[in-house]
Amino acid sequence: MSVKKTAYSCQNCGAIHFKWSGKCTDCGAWNSLVEEFAEGGGSHFTRLDDEKIIKNSSVKNSRIVDLVSLNGQVQDFPRIKTGINELDRVLGGGLVQGSVVLIGGDPGIGKSTLLLQTANSLAKNNNSIIYISGEESVDQVRLRAKRLDCDCESIKLASTTNVAEIIETVKNQKGNPVVIIDSIQTMFLDGLSSAPGTVSQVRASAGELTIFAKKHNITLLIVSHVTKDGQIAGPKVLEHMVDTVLYFEGEKDLHFRILRAIKNRFGAANEIGVFEMNEIGLSEVSNPSELFLASYDYKTSGTTVFAGIEGSRPILAEIQALVAPSFIPTPRRAVVGWDLNRLAMIIAVLNTRFGLNLFDKEVYLNIVGGLKIIETSADLAVACALISSARDIPLENSTIAVGEIGLSGEIRMVSNLEARFKEAHKLGFKNCIIPKANEKNKNFNNIIKTYPELNIQTISHIRDLNKFFKK
Ligand SMILES: [Zn+2]
């Protein structure tokens, strides 16, 4: 008699628990544990099967692996240009033949649109494309393709959710096609009894597809939905098994979409591509700074322009702050596009080291255009926006600010100053507030000489900001 083993897997992080509890002890998510069964043999990567694998393994039959020297010849990865420059940039110069790319994002953000346009662009360059849709019927995909004006002749389309069927179908195709799976949460493997979308199905399906792709040198693009309520397993549980993880971000009601590389075995992580969503699909934005500053008005108080670096690319973004009196005991603090804890820190530093008391004020901070900034060098720009709003004094015309703020109020050095200056100069900015600590940098004088039109002001402590906000 076979005994069914049950376990509870967290739909957020994929951790396996042998007892149900309301909270996942691994990632802290509430209500994310779902009962799953481990059945059948095979190569399903659930932890329940680990025991079995260990029992069956034997050291005796293993082959000896060749050890080579570290300083040998390096092979260049053959890349397929997608023809969409922003996507190629994020991928590190194009799709690597035989690699597996995961594209995550909220449902409805435009992942399918992006992939259909990519498929179209690839097909135009005589690549063979197979588009597997598990979400929509063939007719629905065709309709979408018509709307996006995609020439659908050479893209092969199928609507199925069975992984074994997909593998069998792709095997019978000539050449090394690019296969698009939309989405992994709808896929299932026969051997597992759990429903599609659960951790074990998502992980096993992706594992099976990845092994197949690697073996046959097939390039795989996998779509994965991000869910906040934990109903279906998110891309987090797959990140370790694919080569590249891209996230498609943006607010649904805004036009801009940002494609960000979270992990890339064949290029730099954190590289971003910017797109604009319009009636005919996604169009590339080759100069995002212009877009993010489109409605920037230097005459209003509470705004500062930050010269940031996303991956290898400088991007100017407008930071808006609003400081308003509060009538409740705990004043509201809200942030869009930045870290709330970091804002709390800046507010505390401003209070203690600068003498600006915001404890009885509501504070709102917004990075305009839907950009998410993770750099700590945005601290100075945020501080400027807060002071400017609190005192109702706008910063001088065409000024950018960049610098990290320490707890004692000191302004710390930032990297990539030259790239930031270059972008600021390109967009006609005249004044830069930067950390004095950067003067120690060997190249500093050379950088200054390169941009004689820029009026560069260095500050070492947050109290030095006073001179910019005097009436
Ligand atoms: Zn968890």
pLDDT in tens, 82-133: 999 999 999 988 999 999 999 998 888 899 999 999 999 999 888 899 999 9
What is the distance in A from the centroid of ligand 1 to the CA of 29? 6
DSSP codes joined into one string, 279-326: TTEEEE-S-HHHHHTTT--TTSTTEEEEEEEETTEEEEEEEEEEEEE-
> Which comes out higher in pLDDT, residue 46 or 388?
388
Which residues, including other chains, have CB under 8 Å from residue 292's CB and lie 6 or more apart?
A: 315, 316, 317, 318, 368, 369, 371
Asked if residue 76 has pLDDT above 90, the reply is no
Half-sphere exposure of 458 (CA within 13 A, CB side): 14
Give the separation between CA 29 and CA 22, rounded to whole angstroms: 9
- Share the mean pLDDT of the chain: 87
Would you place residue 40 in the very low, low, confident or very high pLDDT band (cuts 50, 70, 90)?
Answer: very low
What is the distance in A from the centroid of ligand 1 to the CA of 407? 33
Asked if residue 46 has pLDDT above 50, the reply is no
What is the distance in A from the centroid of ligand 1 to the CA of 263? 20
What is the distance in A from the centroid of ligand 1 to the CA of 14? 6
Give the separation between CA 55 and CA 72, rounded to whole angstroms: 37
**In this prediction, what percent of the chain has a pLDDT beyond 70?**
92
Sheet-wide strand order for 16-17: 16-17, 5-10, 33-38
**In this prediction, what percent of the chain has a pLDDT beyond 90?**
47
What is the distance in A from the centroid of ligand 1 to the CA of 376? 28
Let me know: does 347 contact 353? Beta carbons within 8 Å. Answer: no
Query: Which secondary structure element, helix H or strand E, spans residue 169, and what is its range?
Result: helix 163-171
Would you place residue 207 in the very low, low, confident or very high pLDDT band (cuts 50, 70, 90)?
Answer: very high
Query: Which secondary structure element, helix H or strand E, spans residue 188, and what is its range?
Result: none
| Ion ligand 1: protein residues whose beta carbon lies under 5 Å | 10, 12-13, 15, 24, 26-27, 29
What is the distance in A from the centroid of ligand 1 to the CA of 35? 13
pTM as predicted: 0.79
What is the distance in A from the centroid of ligand 1 to the CA of 31? 10
Secondary structure tally for the chain: helices H, strands E:
11, 23
What is the distance in A from the centroid of ligand 1 to the CA of 206? 19
Question: Structure tokens of 35?
Answer: 């009962």
Asked if residue 4 has pLDDT above 80, the reply is no
